[in-house]
Amino acid sequence: MDKEKKILYSGMQATNTLTLGNYLGALKNWVSMHEEYECFYGVMDLHSLTVRQEPAEFRKNARSLYALYVAAGLDPEKNCVYYQSHVPAHTQLAWILNCFTYMGELSRMTQYKDKAAKHADNVNAGLFTYPVLMASDILLYQADVVPVGVDQKQHLEITRDIAERFNSIYGDVFTVPEAYIGKAGAKVMSLQDPTKKMSKSDENPNATVFLLDDKDTIIRKFKRAVTDSDAEIRYDAENKPGVSNLMSIYSAVSKKSYEEIEKEFAGSGYGDFKIAVGERVAEELLPIQNKYQELMKEKSFIESCMKNNAEKAFYVSNKTLRKVYKKVGLTELPRS
């Protein structure tokens, strides 16, 4: 590890494929972060188990996510890109941190309330203690910064609370992480309801663009995107959320400002603009899709990356875990 650099930690769940929102909002910006930070990115497969998974499909999705990370530009030699489940310290530390987390804190988590309402037939303990496993993910690597969206701010706050509580008892064991403040990723909203974030699990197939959608599918979804009735291409998030969402996406893939976009499409109708956005998004995603297809065929390369990065994650995480075990008084296994 480069001790000169601060440590950054993030990851995504291994369910379904990534969306355009995942890419423009996070993954695209992760690609160059290794220049400034020592980066750890997890395929968060243990977190995915709070919802029932079909095993074969789940394994396929996890491998697909790993390949998409790499295809999008995360170099596994410059970043530690690994599976959460390959590093036992995540769950080992999570149990200890459970004992330093209060029921009241967990019951206030809005994401727990939302998911419990959505999956009323499976409100399991893992759903309730999910933030503790997330705290374990972050604290194991002594992360200085964590990129978080609005929906994850509560989880970072409870991670900080747990770290500070543990440190107040046992000394400076954990780095107390800060939210990553840097270049903001595009906030991509649903194409069918621009008041909601684009989601993997949206029941409307036209609401979400996936990274592996082909060009025709992408353009079709953008053609059906919800806009408004005044037909003027102008950025106004409050009064014109649909058009503003399309402009935000177009800006992210074309690197043009809203003012430049307004000038480019002055006098054009929404139909032409929607097609232009769809075509530019398809153009942006094509190299990623091509690289992804190559990687999915190169089984040995992906598995080599998994193994090497898991070893690094194991080494770094176990340094923290051993320290925690010693602090709380657990007995170390004698070495032969």
Q: Are strands 145-146 and 80-83 parallel, antiparallel or unpaired?
A: unpaired
Go through the domains of the chain in sequence order and give each one's CATH number: 6-185+299-328 (3.40.50.620), 215-294 (1.10.240.10)
Predicted confidence at residue 70, as pLDDT, reads 96
**Cα–Cα distance, 39 to 136 (Å, whole number):** 16
Amino acid at 13: Q
Predicted confidence at residue 184, as pLDDT, reads 57
Enter the tokens of residue 30. Answer: 């992760």
**What 8-state DSSP symbol labels residue 33?**
G
Q: Is 115 one of the catalytic residues?
A: yes
Q: Which of 5, 78, 187, 197 is catalytic?
A: 197
Amino acid at 22: N
**Cα–Cα distance, 142 to 8 (Å, whole number):** 9
- How far the first Cα of the chain sits from its last, in Å, is 28
Q: Is 319 one of the catalytic residues?
A: no
Predicted confidence at residue 186, as pLDDT, reads 74
Predicted confidence at residue 2, as pLDDT, reads 59
Q: What is the pLDDT along the chain (336 residues), one digit of tens a residue?
A: 656 899 999 999 988 789 999 999 889 989 989 999 999 999 999 999 988 899 999 999 999 999 999 999 999 999 999 999 999 999 999 999 999 999 999 988 887 777 777 778 888 888 899 999 999 999 999 999 998 876 678 889 999 999 999 999 999 999 999 998 766 567 899 999 999 999 888 889 999 999 999 999 999 999 999 998 888 999 998 999 999 999 999 999 999 999 999 999 998 899 999 999 999 999 999 999 999 999 999 889 999 999 999 999 999 999 999 999 999 999 988 887
Q: Which of 5, 200, 223, 312 is catalytic?
A: 200
**Cα–Cα distance, 44 to 81 (Å, whole number):** 11
**Cα–Cα distance, 82 to 301 (Å, whole number):** 14
Predicted confidence at residue 265, as pLDDT, reads 94
Q: Which of 115, 221, 240, 274 is catalytic?
A: 115
Q: Report DSSP letters for 116-161, one per residue.
A: HHHTGGG--HHHHHHHHHHHHHHHHTT-SEE---GGGHHHHHHHHH
Among residues 226, 200, 203, the alpha carbon closest in space to that of 213 is found at 200
The answer to whether 92 and 317 have CB atoms below 8 angstroms apart is no
Enter the tokens of residue 207. Answer: 């609401």
